[in-house]
Amino acid sequence: MLNAQQKSLFLDIFKCFQKCREIISMSKSAILYITRNGMLEPLGQSQVLSYLRGLSSDYKITLISFEKPEDLADKTAVARVDADCKTHGIHWLPQRFMYKPKVIAPAWSMLVFLYLCLREVSRGNADIIHARSYLPTIVALVVNKLKGTPFIFDMRALWPEELITAGRIKRDSIMHKLLVRAERKCLARAATVVSLTHAAVVHLKKEYPQELQNQKISVISTCADLNRFVPISKRPNQPKVYSCLGTVLSGWFRLDWLAACFKVLAKREPDAQFEVITRDNPEIVRKAIGGDQDLQSRLKVYPLPSHEVHKAVQTQTASVMFFTDGLGKIGSAPTRMGEILGCGLPVIANAGIGDVAHIIERYRVGVLAKSSSDADMNQALDELEILMQDPELARRCRYAAEVVFSLENGIEAYRAVYQKILDAKSTKQRQVGK
């Protein structure tokens, strides 16, 4: 038992420690991160919180996100994310996501963003605004004009083109023209533009040569948690498992190609099993894949919490990912690809999706299907069969994941982006002071 003097000493030490933490926190530059993605979703976990945990040691971070009502209903998950943020000193301000009305809901979220951003700027919590995707960046642009706060346009693909590809808007419609105008202004006024792919940068420089003439552009791919998504030393003694990971009902996924691939595989390999790990409606996915009773009996469609997905991937053989191509997807870098490769598995994909084809061909970590026809699928699967006989395949897959999708590399890249903006801001303030 401690006596009164010892208790007092320990209390003083604890208070001193707390005070030191406060002083260190006050000396950190403040980052305001804004996103319409939820931290309770797999995407928010892997593509936002994973980065912010690593950056929190150097920056004071405030995070504004929009959480879906069904996710907020899971109190355990909310408490877990809240505790995670507090552990890393991240001030999380979750807002409720609205699905409808279609036009009013995103407009309302922008107003909420604007109010909260202006409030955090006035409180000194935003030396930089890091805006993920288009609508948050438009808000950051307004704040920049009102307060002068520099912002990062973290594009996360070419959204206007994605909306056209998904059939949500029409090219040259009023909405499309408004989005392109906003894109132009955000690209020109951002302190830095972040693109997921090199392919998107080439397109943007052709489309906006004047706005991007002197603009700083960084290519930072999506990250995978390669501490979890790792190869296992001994694969289970089970039939081959061909999988698909993530949403397939987004309007950007080629579900008909997935169905064609699974049907051809089912004929080629009578013992093979099929899995679709997704939060999408299982019945709709099953119906879309179709096939005979034999395929359906070998098909599993189910969701998993984000922290358990890697366990399922590790037991699989190869993973299938087909997306609509064209301008709408050249800015995309599928997170699922990094997670699959991280587990040492090859991918079956199609060209025209960001840097996917380049990665597959450069590192020899998968095959590309030319179409959904039986002939083209069989050709791709013949190539996969040969590829999987290579004893170095798993090592190459892991290496490609570490080079392209490393969380540590991504954190360092964002840290460099932040520091350049802060240095430029400091230089400008000194010049104004003179």
Per-residue pLDDT tens for 85-106?
A: 999 999 999 999 998 888 788 8
Task: Supply the pTM of this predicted model.
Answer: 0.81
Beta bridge partners of 33: 63, 130
pLDDT at 259: 97
Bond from prior residue into 346 cis (ω within 30 degrees of 0): no
Query: pLDDT over 70 for what percent of the chain?
Result: 94
Residues 127, 30: contact at Cβ < 8 Å?
yes
The model's pLDDT over 68-90, given as tens digits with 9 standing for 90+, comes to 999 999 999 999 999 999 999 99
Please give the average per-residue pLDDT across 358-370, as a whole number: 97
Gap between the Cα atoms of 26 and 110, Å rounded: 29
Gap between the Cα atoms of 84 and 79, Å rounded: 8
Gap between the Cα atoms of 29 and 59, Å rounded: 5
Angle at 232 between CA 231 and CA 233, to 5 degrees: 120
Q: What is the mean pLDDT of the chain?
A: 91
- What are the tokens at 124? 């000194």
- 43 vs 200, which has greater pLDDT? 200
Residues 129, 398: contact at Cβ < 8 Å?
no
pLDDT at 23: 46
Please report the domains of the chain, with CATH numbers, ordered by start residue: 28-223+408-433 (3.40.50.2000), 241-405 (3.40.50.2000)
In this model, does residue 358 exceed pLDDT 70? yes
Instruction: Output phi, psi for 93, to 5 deg.
Output: -120, 80
Comparing 9-13, 177-181, 237-241, 396-400, the range with the smallest average pLDDT is 9-13
pLDDT at 149: 97
Gap between the Cα atoms of 192 and 211, Å rounded: 12
Output DSSP code: residue 48: I
- 366 vs 331, which has greater pLDDT? 366
Determine the residue type at 21.
Answer: R
Helix residue ranges per DSSP H, 32-169: 42-44, 50-55, 69-72, 75-87, 104-122, 134-147, 159-165
Gap between the Cα atoms of 258 and 324, Å rounded: 12
pLDDT at 57: 95
- Residue 177's H or E segment, with its range, is helix 174-189
In this model, does residue 205 exceed pLDDT 80? yes
pLDDT at 12: 62
